[in-house]
Amino acid sequence: MRLIDAGTVGALRSQALWHGIAAAMGPDDEPTLSLCRPGEAYMSLGYHRRLDELDQAACSREGLPILRRRIGGGPVLIDDQQLFFQITMPVRRAPASISRLYATLLEPAAAAFRALGLDARVDGLNDIAVGPRKISGTGAGQIGEAVVVVGNVIFDFDHARMARVLALPDPGMHDECLRLMRRHVSSLRDEGLAHVTAADAATALRDAYATALDGAVTSAEPTAAEVAEITRFEARLRDPAWQRGPDLPERAGRRVKVRSNVFVVHGEQDGVSVLASVVGDDIECATVAAPALNGTAAALERALVGNVVAPGALAARLAPFGECGGQILAAIGPGLEARW
């Protein structure tokens, strides 16, 4: 396994580095673990996410440029309190399904967190978690002939800053997102490991991936071909057309995913506005606002709380409310059913 430790780099390089390494990889190349620490804060947006999920004015006020990455997932605040790791390997050496890919290539990262002192595990398909809290954001993609799985070690996280730059339909949704982020997105500091340094984390990652990939570690600088691709991606990532992203349909309602199986949804239908926080299989709490409800809002909010996974469960709880219940269901349905 090659190890490229780029140290602290600028925002653009922190993304272009691993895009370029993947783009330059040939079918017979050995896997490469790359590491870098972003030296400045920015917002990273998943490839298939709309730019208008971010409050661009707020991003400007916060001094946060927006960089779209060529892997999935939603908007993420990146800053100098994170260490990025990426494992890149030729497509033909990578597991053939996405679930196996994550299971194989995220387990070493979980092992690295355990080596640092956390009871971490790969949770669900692609979260690395400690208890109910996500400790690392991850994503993956195929770039050229390579597959890359990326993640971060979060030393500290500014939940409030992250929530401030999301474009949300009402302040209540902001508050709910922030509440759930604080509960479900953790950091080494939050877990009592403020003493862990970037060097400690880099060593743990290097050792864990070397063990998992059965190979010696060769420290390396990017090759000339990689440097050329990194440079090409730096230009591409700052291209306004790339930042706008692919042409994507507008989605009904608004949904913010906090971690796997934890999200906040908002929807409106015929003047009825519904906000719900979903944790696991259940709506944990909900807010219903509509002038015409004449006092039934509180009862509707109570009815919303409960299982949303069992087919028909939510509809059955709302059925006693007749037309109002139908409006609530129509308002919140698209957000609940969304898979992103």
Task: Tell me how far, at minimum, the Cβ of 80 lies from another protein, in Å.
Answer: 23
43 closest CA partner among 130, 137, 134, 132: 137
> Quick check: 298 binds another protein (CB under 8 A)?
no
150's CB contacts (< 8 A; 6+ apart) are 18, 71, 84, 85, 86, 138, 139, 140
> Quick check: 248 binds another protein (CB under 8 A)?
yes
SS3 271: coil
CA distance 160 to 289: 25
Pick the closer one to another protein by CB: 106 or 300: 106
> Quick check: 71 binds another protein (CB under 8 A)?
yes
Position among 34, 86, 126, 287 found at the interface with another protein (CB under 8 A): 126
Position among 125, 298, 315, 319 found at the interface with another protein (CB under 8 A): 125
Choices 2-10, 15-23, 136-144, 156-164; region in contact with another protein by CB under 8 A = 136-144
Position among 9, 10, 47, 132 found at the interface with another protein (CB under 8 A): 47
Position among 28, 52, 63, 96 found at the interface with another protein (CB under 8 A): 96
Task: Tell me how far, at minimum, the Cβ of 79 lies from another protein, in Å.
Answer: 20
> Quick check: 102 binds another protein (CB under 8 A)?
yes
> Quick check: 242 binds another protein (CB under 8 A)?
no
112 closest CA partner among 212, 187, 207: 207
Which amino acid, residue 130?
A: V
Vertex 138 angle, CA 179 and 73, to 5° = 70
Q: Which two tokens stand for residue 8?
A: 């602290």
> Quick check: 27 binds another protein (CB under 8 A)?
no
Position among 246, 271, 280, 320 found at the interface with another protein (CB under 8 A): 246
Q: Which two tokens stand for residue 20?
A: 């370029």
Question: Tokens 């989605």 correspond to what residue?
Answer: 251
Task: Tell me how far, at minimum, the Cβ of 292 lies from another protein, in Å.
Answer: 31
Pick the closer one to another protein by CB: 69 or 164: 69
Task: Tell me how far, at minimum, the Cβ of 99 lies from another protein, in Å.
Answer: 6
> Quick check: 253 binds another protein (CB under 8 A)?
no
322: left (phi over 0), alpha (psi -120 to 50) or beta: left
What's the gap between Cα 309 and its chain centre? 22
Position among 138, 152, 287, 327 found at the interface with another protein (CB under 8 A): 138
> Quick check: 46 binds another protein (CB under 8 A)?
yes
Biggest alpha carbon distance in the chain?
69
Position among 101, 154, 212, 256 found at the interface with another protein (CB under 8 A): 101
Choices 6-14, 28-36, 69-77, 160-168; region in contact with another protein by CB under 8 A = 69-77
Whether 127 contacts 260, CB under 8 Å: yes
Pick the closer one to another protein by CB: 166 or 272: 166
CA distance 228 to 224: 6
Task: Tell me how far, at minimum, the Cβ of 134 lies from another protein, in Å.
Answer: 12
DSSP 8-state symbol, 38: E
Report the interface residues with another protein, using CB under 8 A: 46-49, 70-73, 95-102, 125-126, 138-142, 246-249, 338-340
